[in-house]
Amino acid sequence: MGLLQETAYQYYEAKQTFIATAGQNEFPLTLDPLPDSIEKFRVHVNDVELTSGVAYDEGTGIVTLTPARSLNEIVTVILKDAGLGKYRFTTLADIVSNYMVAYVGDGKLINSVNKTDVLFHAKRGIQEFAFDIARVEKIQEIEVGPSLSIPMPQDYVNYVKISFVDDAGIERLIMPTRLSSKASEPILQDEDYKYLYDQNDELLLGSSVIEDRFKNFDITKISGSANDTEVNYNADNSLDRLMVYGGRYGLNPETTTENGVFIIDEANGKISFSSNVADKIITLRYISDGLGTDDEMKVHKFAEEALYKHISLGIASAKANMPEYIINRFKKERRAAMRNAKIRLYNLKMEELTQVMKGKAKIIK
């Protein structure tokens, strides 16, 4: 039996339609995967959305409507999130279930293990794979306000690229700077420069003078840019000027770009920008740990085997009196599986690589 359990209509349209019989009130869903809560879908009857009288059983996937429907009424269950491309991934629940079936039991690699232990190591594996193998990158679009800072996303691990978007929708790279910093502990002092403490003998903190000065600093004083800082698309620009606006070859991009700079404030979970980024739309491309929501806890099928090896190594390493040669075997298997997963997910396309090399005026042998 194939793995695809839903029809092409259900996948592409993200909905399932029923023609009710007289007095029918239960409508079993066959969507794959089934919604895990009633908040994940809407129910329409004859193109009119129901705002009450809808119940849902997450275990069976049955939607119950009250009152029962009349003959030939059209009931449509519409998912709020289509979840396109989901076939590429295996969910955390399936990973744990598959591992318990294939790897745990008499005569198998692991004689016995609690399902909670498998879940723990599976989550740890997804967290590591999200950075090292199948990087989970998200992109937030944010308008920078007068504070010139934005909060880090909840599942933020590290940034990939931060850019602002010009009037043509082209992303202009913003560079990090070493010229300033964001103080996590701006300490208050008296007139004799002695530290001030509260009633619990803890340091008193104030607002950052460095931050205030950096916000008010005119970035053109170090970039040497033209007075007109308005960015507009110009069809006559060369490709290099279009993609690196304000760049100057042979100079330090940190001090010669008109795009602005940013500072990472790790302690307070904020990203601050120079004054010329105010009121601009920026895109924050960042790496997620892959555990932000239930829907995100999944692994690419190309890395599924590597995750099973990771779980086996974690379980074996945590067991008392486990022979060292067994642990070494699991380490080698995990290393080989991770290497294979990385190669598979590098996703190199020969035609694209050829075009890049031609653009760099390289000779391809």
Taking residues 168-193, report their average pLDDT: 83
Is the pLDDT at 311 greater than 90? The verdict is yes
CB 331 within 8 A of CB 313: yes
Q: What is the CB neighbour count within 10 angstroms for residue 313?
A: 22
Taking residues 234-254, report their average pLDDT: 52
| Residue 203 DSSP symbol | B
| H or E segment and range at residue 358 | helix 350-359
Query: If DSSP codes are grouped into helix, strand and coil, which group holds residue 323?
Result: coil
Domain ranges of the chain: 8-79, 88-134+299-358, 139-288
First-to-final CA distance of the chain? 47
CB 136 within 8 A of CB 290: yes
Residue range 119-146, pLDDT digits in tens: 999 999 888 888 788 777 889 999 999 8
- Name the pLDDT band for 362 (thresholds 50, 70, 90): low
Query: If DSSP codes are grouped into helix, strand and coil, which group holds residue 79?
Result: strand
Q: How far apart are CA 74 and CA 57, in angstroms?
A: 21
Q: 156-165 and 149-151 as β-strands: parallel, antiparallel, unpaired? A: unpaired
Q: How far apart are CA 251 and CA 222, in angstroms?
A: 12
pLDDT of residue 148: 87
The average confidence (pLDDT) of the chain is 82
pTM value is: 0.68
Single out the residue of 127, 240, 245, 229 nearest to residue 175, CA to CA: 245
